[in-house]
Amino acid sequence: GFPWQKAEAYNRLGRIYAEKNKTDSALSYYDQAIALNPKDFKALSNKGVLLASIGKEEQAISSYRQALKKNPHDTLTTSLLDQLLEEKKSAADKTRQERIDNLVADLVKRYKSYEKSKKPAYLTDTWTSRPLSITLLNFESKGSPANRAGEYELLTFKLTQFLQGKKRISVVERELIDKLLEELNLSSSDLSDPATALKLGKIIGARFIATGNI
């Protein structure tokens, strides 16, 4: 086959091994794809997603920017880069991080003791409808992995942004949920248990916890 065809095969192998959490093998296949086809912006973008997932943000940013040099009109890579830069900025906000850490510590105590939170003042108003509080968890992929890495995570991110723009909806911060689940030694799959989901939902004040499969 032609070099670009072999590069496509290596890129797909990279996606498969990334889904299996075999990071070193996945990165190796992505690098082989890029070496065979330097114009392969998809492999560069996929590599960026994998690097970001293992905490190598700077390398991920570099990979995204290289991909955009190959194809400046690739909306997926542009969005993934914007999302990573936004997350990096939030992580550098010490005041915000301290607020989240304190809130998580309080929520962990409440979860373990399962205290019933006090009703907000607006519940005494029987005329006004309550705002819809919701939290979104990452969608779980089923079947063959998508050609492009980051599609599912980006879907959740964009959907959250859309809902946050609605006046009648309050979205619980995803960063808060991730840290809380980590402190409680829970995973997203644990929330498939209705009792666990209901308990967590009451603690964080979310009336709906949205999960899904793609």
pLDDT for position 22: 95
Mean pLDDT in residue range 132-161 = 80
Instruction: End-to-end CA distance of the chain: give it in Å, rounded.
Output: 32
Mean pLDDT in residue range 40-53 = 95
Q: Strand, coil or helix: what is 211?
A: coil
pLDDT per position as a tens digit, 27-37: 999 999 999 99
CA distance 1 to 188: 42
| Structural tokens at position 140 | 């779980």
Q: How confident is the model at residue 144 (pLDDT cuts 50, 70, 90)?
A: confident
Q: Between 14 and 127, whose confidence is greater?
A: 14
Q: Strand, coil or helix: what is 168?
A: coil
Q: Between 214 and 84, whose confidence is greater?
A: 84
* Range from 33-37, 38-42, 119-123 carrying the lowest mean pLDDT: 119-123
Q: Strand, coil or helix: what is 2?
A: coil
Mean pLDDT in residue range 127-135 = 73
Q: Are 197 and 191 in contact (CB under 8 A)?
A: yes
pLDDT per position as a tens digit, 164-211: 778 888 777 777 777 777 777 776 666 667 777 777 777 776 677 777
CA distance 178 to 73: 32
CA distance 15 to 145: 7
Q: Between 2 and 178, whose confidence is greater?
A: 2
Per-residue three-class SS string for 6-51:
HHHHHHHHHHHHHHCCCHHHHHHHHHHHHHHCCCCHHHHHHHHHHH
pLDDT for position 123: 47
Q: Give the predicted TM-score (pTM) of the model.
A: 0.73
Please, what's the largest Cα pairwise distance for the chain? Answer: 71
Which distant-in-sequence residues (6+ apart) come within 8 Å of 212 by Cβ? 139, 140
CA distance 11 to 57: 21
- % helix, strand, coil for the chain, step of 5: 65, 5, 30
Task: Determine how β-strand 208-210 pairs with β-strand 169-171.
Answer: unpaired
| Structural tokens at position 26 | 């996945």
pLDDT at 163 over 90: no
pLDDT for position 164: 79
Please report the sign of the dihedral spanned by the C-alpha atoms of residue 130, residue 180, residue 152, residue 75. Answer: positive
